[in-house]
């Protein structure tokens, strides 16, 4: 394995190829004893304050490029292989904490639902959960991308009317698996509207006594992701991972 070493926000970064995909691995200066780690599912480097805080606390950070941000099944099925490699190569903890922002939230949900044995908890930030909302734009989204979805997933808008594998359709599986969720959304999101996406997950978990912590940011659009004060998120991770 050929690793290219550099620095990322004061931490050692390794870039390499894994099964013909670009991979990134960032090392804390002082790792936790059980080598816990974050899996940034999409948009590596975007709104990284939480990841940087966790690196300071000894957590590793990893990312593997996707065929598409819209999460074809081959991307989901590549994730456990990547996890197994990181465990073998670097001795990482068997379970990770996926960090899923926007489309990355969709990717994290599909991964956790299909391969819960690799997931300790989820951090979802303005996640895409209802494909009819975004990218198809059949609700209130102001920046839909239906052509991108059909091009990358191969399903037309008309076929989606009866589609039953939206990320939100995984909510029962996530609940039964007992995976804790930290959900951050903006109440004024015009790209991935809260009431068409995150609110559905939140309401379901609350109604069924699921483990979900939610922060709804007032007057916040789809961006910026993250929190001004990461304390609630850091406490969540400390409790559940």
209-236: pLDDT as tens digits: 999 999 999 999 999 999 999 999 999 9
Instruction: List the structure tokens of 45.
Output: 């480097």
Supply the mean pLDDT for the chain. 97
Could you tell me the domains of the chain? 4-133+166-240 (3.40.50.1820)
pLDDT for residue 160: 87
109-122: pLDDT as tens digits: 999 999 999 999 99
Mean pLDDT of 176-201: 98
pLDDT band at 174 (very low <50, low <70, confident <90, very high): very high
Report how far residue 134's alpha carbon sits from residue 58's, in angstroms, rounded to the nearest whole number. 35
Identify the sign of the CA torsion 128, 168, 209, 188.
positive
pLDDT for residue 156: 86
Specify the pTM. Answer: 0.96
pLDDT band at 125 (very low <50, low <70, confident <90, very high): very high
pLDDT band at 158 (very low <50, low <70, confident <90, very high): confident
Q: Please classify residue 191 by burial: count the beta carbons closer than 10 Å to its beta carbon, then call 0-12 exposed, 13-18 middle and 19+ buried.
A: buried
């Amino acid at each position: 394995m050929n690793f290219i070493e550099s620095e990322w926000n004061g931490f050692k970064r390794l870039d390499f190829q894994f099964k013909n995909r670009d991979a990134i691995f960032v090392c804390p200066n002082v790792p936790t004893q059980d080598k816990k780690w974050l899996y940034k599912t999409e948009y590596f480097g975007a709104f990284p304050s939480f990841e940087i805080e966790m690196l300071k606390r000894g957590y590793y950070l990893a990312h593997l490029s996707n065929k598409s941000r819209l999460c074809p099944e081959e991307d989901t099925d590549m994730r456990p292989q990547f996890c197994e490699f990181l465990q073998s190569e670097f001795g990482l903890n068997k379970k990770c904490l996926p960090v899923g922002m926007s489309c990355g939230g969709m990717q994290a949900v599909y991964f956790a639902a299909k391969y819960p044995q690799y997931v300790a908890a989820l951090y979802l930030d303005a996640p895409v959960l209802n494909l009819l909302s975004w990218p198809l734009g059949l609700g209130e989204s102001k920046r839909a991308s239906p052509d991108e979805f059909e091009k990358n997933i191969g399903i037309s808008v008309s076929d989606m009317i009866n589609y039953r594998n939206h990320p939100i359709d995984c909510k029962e599986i996530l609940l039964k698996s007992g995976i804790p969720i930290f959900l951050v959304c903006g109440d004024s999101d015009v790209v991935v509207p809260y009431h068409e996406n995150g609110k559905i997950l939140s309401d379901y978990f609350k109604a069924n006594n699921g483990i979900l912590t939610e922060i709804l940011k007032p007057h916040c659009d789809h961006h910026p992701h993250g929190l001004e004060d990461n304390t609630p998120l850091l406490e969540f991770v400390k409790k559940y991972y």
